[in-house]
Structure 1
Amino acid sequence: MIVYKSEDEIALIRESALILGKAHGEITKFVKEGITTKKLDKIAEDFIKDNGGIPSFKNYNGFPFSLCISVNSTVVHGMPSDYTLRDGDIISIDCGVYFKGYHSDSAYTHAVGNISPEVQELLDVTKDSLYKGIEKAIVGLRIGDIAYAIQQHAEAKKFGVVRELVGHGIGQNLHESPEVPNYGKRGQGLKLQEGLVLAIEPMINLGSRYIVQEEDGWTIRTRDNKPSAHFEHTVVVRQGQAEILTTFDYIEQAKN
C-alpha cells in the first residue's frame, strides 16, 4: 500500500531529517585514520538521542547498531566493529532518525585520507547519480524514470549498479512501498504523485554489480571485492522539482 503524506506529515519528516543531517555532520568530524567504526556508531547514537530522536536502525529486525557502516568492498549493512579506519579507506555511513513518529534516512560515503583517482571517481559518480535520480522524482513521471536516470549515469562510467538492493518509501515506517530500484526502464512503474516520500539510494560498485551476503546475515559485499559507494537522500515528490528533506550540508561544513 502506498501512503501519501500530508504537508503536516512532511513537516515532521523534515524535522527528523534535520536531526539526521546534523548527526551526519557530527560523525564526519571523527571520520579519520585511527578511529574504530564502533566509536563512530556511539557518537551517532549519543547525538541523535541528545537531540530528542531515536536511531531508526537500532534493533530494526534485530540489527544491533545505530549506523550501518560499510568500508571499502562492503556495499551496505556493514556492522560497526573494532575495525580501525586507515588511509585510503572509503566508508559509507547510513543512518536513520525516528522523531515525532516519522523516520528519515540518508547515507554518505567518505574518503579516509588519500584515495586513488578511480575510487574518487566512483564516489563522485555515485553521488551525482543520486541527484540524477532525484531530478526525476516529480509529479507525472514514474519510478522507472528515477531508476533509469541512476543506471544510465553510473553505467556510462563503466561502474556496476547493484540490483538486489533498492530504495524505498518512508514515513511512519522506515521501509514502506514502493521500492525504488537503481536500474530500470523509463516510463515504467508507479506513477509519481504529490506527497510521496522516497528514500533514493544508489549503491554503485567499482567493478561488477554482483554482491554476496556475509554469514552474519547483514553485511553485503561486492563479489569481486572491489570498492562500493552509497549515497542516499529522503525526498518528497513535487510538481516540477523534488524537495530534498535530508541534507549533506553539515557533512560538507565538517569537512572544511
Structure 2
Amino acid sequence: MKWHCEGYLFKFIPRTERHFIEGLMDNSIDLVSMEFSDKIRISFYIRSAIWTGMGYQCEDVIFDPRDMHYSLAPGLRGKLWNYSLTFQWLHDCFHEVDRKDEPTTIWNIFELRFSPQKFLSENRNHLYRTRGESKSIRIFPSIDWEIFAGAFPKLKSPSWFQYKHSFSSHFGGNLDIGIFQYKNLALEFDYQPIFWTKHGGGICQRQYLQFAITFFAKDGTFSFFYGYNAYENQPLRPTNRQARIGFDLKL
C-alpha cells in the first residue's frame, strides 16, 4: 500500500463576508497494485478530501465557518508506458455551516484523466530533485500537462445521486510550466481551465491562474503560491476575480 496526502491553506484577496480563508485536507491510499511489466502497472485507490471555507464578520465573528465540501473517490490508475490514465468515481457533497442561504448540493461524476507520467506529483518531485543536483540556475520552459473529462449520470433512484445542480458533464486540464530552478527550488506557473455543460443547454467555466515557489524535498513538496480566479460564472460558490495567497504541502 502507498499513502499520499495534500493540504493547503490560503487567504482570499480581498476578503469578503463570504470568502476569507479556505483549507484542504486530502488523503489517498493505493490499496492494490498489479505490475505486468516495468511499463504497465494498474493500481486501485481510494481518496478522501475535505475543504473548509470561512467568511469574515468584522468585529463580530473573525473566523466564521461558512461551508464544507466532502469528496470520496474510489478509482483505478494505470501506468501505460510514459503515460498515466485514471478512472475515478467522484462523490461530492457541498454543505453550509449553520445556514440555509445556499442549497446543499450533491454530485456523482464518472471521470477520466490522462497525462504524461512526469505530471504526477511524486514523479515531478524526483525529476526536479535530480535536476537540482547540478546546483546551478536553470532557466527553462518545463511543460507538464493533464486533461480530464467527466459525466454526471442521472438516475431515477436514488434521488440524491445528482441533487440541486444542472450539470451534465465537465472537462478541462492542468498546465504546469517550470520557469526557472535553483537547486531544489523552482518557480512555476499553473493554468487550470475547467468547463461545465448543463442539461438543456448552456456552458459555464472557471479560468484559474497561479504562480508558485516550490521546494522539492525527499518526501514531498512545499509551495508558497499566489493565484487569481480570472473568470468564473458557474453557480456553486463562485469566486470570480478574487486572488488568493497561501501555501501547499504534498507528501
The TM-score by the shorter chain falls in which range? Answer: under 0.3
The structure whose RCO (Cα within 8 Å, separation 6+) is larger is: 1
TM-score, scaled to structure 2: 0.27
TM-score, scaled to structure 1: 0.26
Higher helix share: 1
Q: Which has the larger radius of gyration?
A: 2
Higher strand share: 2
